[in-house]
Amino acid sequence: MRTLDDPLTTPDDLLAATREEGLALRPETARLDRSGWDYLVLHALDADGVPWVVRAPRRAEVAELMAPEGRVLDLVRPVLPVAVPDWRLRTPRFAAYPRLPGEVAATEDPDTLVHEWHVPKERFGAEFVDQLARTLVALHRIDVDRAAATGLPHGSPEDDRAEIAERLTRLRAAVPVPDRWWRYWQRWLHEDCFPPRSALVHGDAHPGHLLVEHDGQDERGARLVGLLDWGDARVGDPGLDFQDVHAAFGGELLDLLLAGYQRHGGELWPGARRHVVALASLGPANAALYGVSTGQPRFVEAALARLTSEPPDQVTDERRAVSPGR
């Protein structure tokens, strides 16, 4: 019998595991997605032609987070205006759910860390931003005590500030961080632009976790219909849920999102935009640390290549997006 230290790694492994739990998926329809950092994802049809998604943790420490993730999905599902996974099967080794409508906005190449867009970026406009803003307002209004009771990680913005500082210290000890980036990050950590309070956050709302539909006749018609992969959900810095918009889409869409968030009743704090841009700039740092901890030098190489650019406060256009990364 497999244990959490012996994860499921092949389509046959996943098909056998679901079959043991009473879900028979057709092997000829199985497609394995290895692009995620923490999970393998199998797509397959059941005997009735219903498409399923099977999600299996790559490592034991990730598997330990699946139980609280399942509970937070149950918490947010009745509240959010978009769909989230409904885990019909929950085991320590995998979760399975009927596939949600829509398609992911983009997929990240596991070797280059560059997004391959399934929906052209130019189709993401006001309608998409408004739906994301309403979703984040609804999420951030959930009672933090109820969220913490699910077993999710939780802390204050000051805890997050300390954790980021420690993460950057580890980064500098492991790889050659350019001085200009180190100075930028240290200035930000000492500024008074961190949020005053915590919220329940998704924490990883990059294009690969955004389910969208679009009308081919409408040049800006992408619509947000679902939000996947809640494995990084936590009670913490609400700025985490804006950072990926800046990283993937740039400053213009970030400004629209922040305005829409306020319009729908969300509370921003002084320096929120500056804070979000700085959070987004941590993408290469996170990629490098992931590469070091998992023994995958390609992540380190890709991260260091991104750090050859200038930090956000040293470029001519302060709205230039920092290269995407998680």
Per-chain mean pLDDT for the chain: 90
Q: What letter would DSSP give residue 105?
A: S
Q: Tell me what pLDDT residue 144 has.
A: 97
Q: Which tokens is 263 given?
A: 């319009």
CATH level 2 (architecture), domain 11-100:
2-Layer Sandwich (3.30)
Q: Tell me what pLDDT residue 138 has.
A: 98
pTM recorded for the entire structure = 0.89
pLDDT of 326 over the 80 cut:
no
Q: What whole-number distance in Å separates Cα of residue 317 and Cα of residue 224? A: 29
Q: Enumerate the CATH 3.30.200.20 domain ranges in the chain, comma separated.
A: 11-100
CB neighbour list of residue 9: distance below 8 Å, 6 or more residues apart: 40
pLDDT of 25 over the 60 cut:
yes
Q: Average of pLDDT values for 241-252?
A: 94
Q: Enumerate the CATH 3.90.1200.10 domain ranges in the chain, comma separated.
A: 104-314
Residue 316 pLDDT level (bands cut at 50, 70, 90): very low
Q: At what angle do helices 157-174 and 179-189 cross, to 10 degrees?
A: 160
Q: Percent of the chain at pLDDT above 90?
A: 76
Q: What whole-number distance in Å separates Cα of residue 278 and Cα of residue 237? A: 13
pLDDT of 320 over the 50 cut:
no
Q: Helices marked H in the chain — which ranges? A: 11-20, 60-63, 66-76, 126-140, 144-148, 157-174, 179-189, 240-249, 251-263, 272-280, 283-294, 297-306
pLDDT of 250 over the 50 cut:
yes
pLDDT in tens, 81-94: 999 999 999 998 89
Pick the CATH number of 104-314 from 1.10.1040.10, 3.90.1200.10, 3.40.50.300, 1.10.3720.10: 3.90.1200.10
CA 169 to chain centre: 23
| Beta-ladder partners of 159 | none
